[in-house]
Amino acid sequence: MPAFLSGFFLSLSLILAIGAQNAFVLRQGLMRQHVFAVCLFCAVSDALLITAGVAGFGALATAVPWFETAMRYGGAAFLIWYGWKNAYSAWQGGAALQTEGPAQTRLSVILATLAALTWLNPHVYLDTVVLIGSISAQYPDRLSFGIGAVLASFTFFFSLGYGARLLSPVFRLPRAWQVLDALIALTMWAIAAGLLLGGH
């Protein structure tokens, strides 16, 4: 149980930080578009990476010296672009949450999450594979630690995705949507700055 709880709360504390992936899940939850598929995809992706880390791949950054640097600069470039996209949406304004109208196909939503916000996000690898993987080595019961970490991911993403709809009345106002886009942009740029400055 101590290993399970440690894994659960470590994973939860890492995921709670606002990032591109979380912002995407929040947006899909507000739009009520393919929420289950998006939450499931993010949680399963985390589960695979956590499993890889706990299984012993946490030493990847040490074994391959250029791995962390490549992830840092590649991730920073993507986050700068993603932040600009949201900043432009905030600048344009005039958009409000619409619960009706054409929805994105499930394929396009999952591909956007897969290609950009999950597997190309350096924080995902550093937090799950490297950090959780290395910390799990301190526990004799690594299986319980890993299960706790995976469960935290499922709990968080489904809570975020389905809890977002409680905020939908607020996001019917164009100004609220502008504020959200602006906050997402600033967050992405702050993360990118941290990566470029060598932070984690």
Hey, what are 179's tokens?
């504020």
Q: Is the pTM of this model over 0.85?
A: no
User: pLDDT for 108-143, tens place per residue?
Assistant: 767 676 667 777 777 777 778 777 777 777 777 888
User: pLDDT for 94-113, tens place per residue?
Assistant: 555 444 445 556 677 676 76
Helices 142-163 and 20-31, packing angle to 10 deg: 40
Among candidate residues 1, 2, 6, the one with its CA nearest the CA of residue 152: 6
Instruction: Give the pLDDT mean for 16-23.
Output: 69
pLDDT for residue 86 is more than 60: yes
* Site of tokens 């600033």: 186
Among candidate residues 140, 147, 132, the one with its CA nearest the CA of residue 4: 147
* Site of tokens 């939503």: 109
User: pLDDT for 150-195, tens place per residue?
Assistant: 999 999 999 989 988 887 777 667 777 778 778 777 876 876 787 6
Q: Tell me what pLDDT residue 162 has.
A: 93
Instruction: Give the pLDDT mean for 73-92.
Output: 77
Q: Return the DSSP state at 111.
A: H
